[in-house]
Structure 1
């Protein structure tokens, strides 16, 4: 019974129920090949949601992840047009490094100037978007301007799954190890759970939040290259509004906005839930613009559910206190 009370189990069951419902009208949607495609389509959202999860665990939020993705992706595309022979490994390293640097800017502003993270990332989101226009002059970079190796890498199939999907799996495994097996991972939870107590245990709250933003930025930078290469186009409004989906995936997955509570599995399942909806809407003949409304509604429902669960826990603690008296 305890298993089915967990957010992850309920969310997994909801995804299965959604797939069964879709399969009753569109059996081809649940074909293994199509489901692998859905997973690959959702991979960018999963990677970004994992980075956002780490930030939220520390009682912060990063609204600049999509803008970071867009700026890094544009720089990678421009670099490829200038040096088409540049090895993909080098492009990947540069994308991660640039994303991490942009994330570190957020972290430093939150750490050293004590500015609320929502204010900082709203500002940097605008700066990053404006920088894309300044760099590109508002012009698009299309598929014919990119090298085949640049656009082909995320699409390479390994055991039926594109490299994009395998990278998401590697990121999931790495984050799971980081959060469960390292002192830094435990510090993320401690800072979000009780920052005052964390200080007494020797944890530097500001530095931990800085590391969270840097990690989130690095994953956004990685996703920037993968996004541009997979869709073979770079423009000023890449992934516009995608930060809403990222936050929605985290909240739906049970990551508490108050910090200190969350899991890798929850973030991944939250992203998959939105990914299934996103891919099912066109099949069902529903306008994809409804996805934004669904994401917003899902955030409200999930936050309400989290708040109610927290209140119940509080009442239980009070009852135990009354019994002891």
Structure 2
């Protein structure tokens, strides 16, 4: 029974309650097509939030994720439009490699040079967003310029569900495995709990940060292709400001900005919560300008809950003080 009062079950109940509450006001919201669209709409945010969760757990943040998405998506769109004969796999691979490379730049600067994550990713966010304009010359790549298979893939159904949903489900399973069952995942929680202690016991902090930001970039690159293909357009301001929505999903899901605390399931639920709010407002005929205000209020509430809860229930991998390690060394 105790688990029912933990954060994740309560957040799941809040998501369900919110869906039902909106459904009472607007029954069309509970229709099968509407719920299917809700799940599909959440997929990109879910994938980005899962990757961001690992970054935030290390006491970091990746503000460049949306700019990375836009640049990777533009690379994919321009490649597909100029070389329509190119296999779809090659186009997607180019987007993923682009995103990975951009993420590794962040990871190298943060991990090996020890520079502040918020400063580095704020800077690379501007650089990557500017490169979208440089690459495209400020022009759009529209649907009529993209091959049919490029556009069709994200929403093509497999066993009744769009590819987007299957990819998001696979990402959830992968990140759950990484966070719970791999040394890499355990090391990230250790770094977030006590960075200096992590170094004392031999955790390669710089290398872990390099690949954590690289993984965030890789996911952003994949989402870049999926975004421009789903909406059939690529332009300079794709996903503009979306990085804050991604971070909000993590915070709402219980990922502590102080590091060392968070879960894959929490990030998933945080993304679903924000998607429900975003989809509910038009149904309720509420101005979309209220979405930012509502999201901000939810974030403030989540931060207060996180602060009140402290670090209770966190994954304490390492002692917090060096002198706690010294007796074990004798």
> What is the TM-score normalised by the length of structure 1?
0.94
2:75/2:94 contact within 8 Å kept: no
Q: Distance in 2 between matches of 1:85 and 1:163?
A: 22
Q: In the superposition, relative to structure 1, how do residues 311 and 60 fare at CA in structure 2: closer, same or farther (>3 Å)?
A: closer
2:130 match: 130
CA RMSD in angstroms comes to 1.4
Bigger Cα displacement from structure 2, 291-300 vs 45-54:
291-300
2:49 match: 49
1:76 aligns with 2:112: no
Bigger Cα displacement from structure 2, 224-233 vs 28-37:
28-37
1:116 aligns with 2:116: yes
2:59 match: 59
Q: Distance in 2 between matches of 1:70 and 1:60?
A: 21
Alignment of 1:205-284 (within 5 A): 205-284=205-284
1:175 aligns with 2:175: yes
Q: Distance in 1 between matches of 2:183 and 2:88?
A: 32
- Residues 263-313 of structure 1: per-residue CA shift (max 9 Å, x gap): 110000000000011111111101222222222222211111101111788
1:7 match: 7
Q: Distance in 1 between matches of 2:235 and 2:175?
A: 30
1:244/1:296 contact within 8 Å kept: no
1:35 aligns with 2:35: yes
1:317 match: none
Q: Distance in 2 between matches of 1:230 and 1:98?
A: 19
1:53/1:262 contact within 8 Å kept: yes
SS at match of 2:126: helix
1:244/1:295 contact within 8 Å kept: no
Q: Distance in 2 between matches of 1:234 and 1:312?
A: 44
Q: Distance in 2 between matches of 1:115 and 1:293?
A: 32
Bigger Cα displacement from structure 2, 102-111 vs 2-11:
2-11
- Residues 197-246 of structure 1: per-residue CA shift (max 9 Å, x gap): 21122101122111110000000000000000000000100001101100
Structure 1: which 5+ residue stretches go unaligned?
314-325
Q: In the superposition, relative to structure 1, how do residues 214 and 312 fare at CA in structure 2: closer, same or farther (>3 Å)?
A: closer
Shift in Å, 1:31 = 2.2
The number of residues matched between the two structures is 314
Q: Distance in 1 between matches of 2:128 and 2:289?
A: 25
> What is the TM-score normalised by the length of structure 2?
0.92
Shift in Å, 1:112 = 2.2
2:321 match: none
SS at match of 1:60: coil
SS at match of 1:203: coil
Q: Distance in 2 between matches of 1:64 and 1:95?
A: 15
1:88/1:150 contact within 8 Å kept: yes
Bigger Cα displacement from structure 2, 127-136 vs 85-94:
85-94
Bigger Cα displacement from structure 2, 221-230 vs 107-116:
107-116
Q: Distance in 2 between matches of 1:165 and 1:238?
A: 21
2:308 match: 308
Q: Distance in 2 between matches of 1:139 and 1:190?
A: 45
- Residues 23-51 of structure 1: per-residue CA shift (max 9 Å, x gap): 11222212233212111111010010011
Bigger Cα displacement from structure 2, 153-162 vs 269-278:
153-162
2:93 match: 93
Alignment of 1:153-192 (within 5 A): 153-192=153-192
